[in-house]
Amino acid sequence: MRILITAGPTREYIDDVRYLSNASSGQMGYALAAAAVAAGHQVVLVSGPTLLAPPLTCDFHGIETTAEMLSACETAWPDCDGVIAAAAVCDYRPAQRIQGKIGKTGNGLTLELVETPDILAALGATRGRRWNVGFALEAQDAHARAIRKLQRKQCDAIVLNSPAAIGAADNSVELLLPNGNTAAKWSGPKSEIAKSLMTWIETNLGTR
């Protein structure tokens, strides 16, 4: 298969030197890219800034903003069989990017934020016969919120994890299906969870 994987955080610039982002390390997405390459698949890895090295043989696209991630994904999507969206995408961006550097005035500063495009939902809307697997990081009412995201983004499955996953080497996840059932629960190093998820995708989605 040719698999599109999103990974890492996105950045949304306030001015030319400051941005909004999050604490995603990219480890889960890069572990998935490594597992997919090791299983013999072609990988298109679209990643925000991380300290990680992508697998040598993947088609790597480094991006910063959500708009850049969307554009790279939309370009890659027609040639892919499915997508695993592990990126921690900024939900909001400053309404305007100020040129240069905002100076201090002695007063407070109010930022106007607008929503960013939902990449996984955009890919889901044009998926045709392709498969979509998302991630949901939820702190409360986790199961129900993850299922709502799965439905809204037209996913075949969604990997539910908790805020403890951010920046950690290990993870504990539940794989949820559109009917609300739990297909699997995996705990351990992200590299092992990535292998388990790849095997599940090959068995349940890759052969449709």
The helix/strand/coil state of 196 is helix
Stretch that binds ligand C5P, among 57-65, 114-122, 168-176, 177-185 (CB under 6 A): 114-122
Pairing of strands 42-47, 59-62: parallel
Residues binding ligand C5P: number (CB under 6 A): 15
How far is 8 from 121, CA to CA, in rounded Å?
Answer: 18
Stretch that binds ligand C5P, among 30-38, 97-105, 111-119, 198-206 (CB under 6 A): 111-119
Choose between 37 and 85: whose C-beta lies nearer to ligand C5P: 85
Which amino acid, residue 107? N
Nearest to ligand C5P of 50, 102 (CB atom): 50
Q: State yes or no: residue 200 binds ligand C5P (CB under 6 A).
A: no
Asked if 6 is part of the footprint of ligand C5P (rule: CB under 6 A), the reply reads yes
For residue 182, the Cα-to-chain-centroid distance in whole angstroms is 20
Give dist(CA 89, CA 118) in Å, integer.
8
Asked whether the beta carbons of 116 and 21 are under 8 A apart, the reply is no
3-state secondary structure of 90: coil
Sign of the CA dihedral 164, 88, 141, 145? negative
Q: How far is CA 164 from CA 33, 53, 137, 171, 173, in A?
A: 21, 23, 9, 8, 11
Q: Residue 22 catalytic?
A: yes
Does 24 help bind ligand C5P (rule: CB under 6 A)?
no
Candidate list 1, 28, 119, 160; residue touching ligand C5P; CB under 6 A = 119
- Which phi and psi (to 5°) does residue 69 adopt? -65, -45
Nearer to ligand C5P, 102 or 205 (CB): 205
> Using CB under 6 A, which residues numbered 74 to 103 contact ligand C5P?
85, 87, 89, 91
Least distance to ligand C5P from the beta carbon of 97, Å? 18
**Considering the rule CB under 6 A, would residue 120 count as an interface residue with ligand C5P?**
yes
Tell me if 135 contacts ligand C5P by CB under 6 A: yes
Give Cα separations from 97 to 31, 45, 93, 176 (angstroms).
Answer: 33, 27, 9, 38
Q: Report in angstroms how near the CB of residue 160 gets to ligand C5P at its nearest.
A: 10
The runs of H, that is alpha helices, within 22-141 are 27-38, 66-76, 119-125
| Near ligand C5P in 59-78, by CB under 6 A | 66
Q: Which stretches of the chain bind ligand C5P, using CB under 6 A? A: 6, 66, 85, 87, 89, 91, 116, 118-120, 134-136, 149, 153
Q: Where in the sequence numbering do the catalytic residues fall?
A: 22
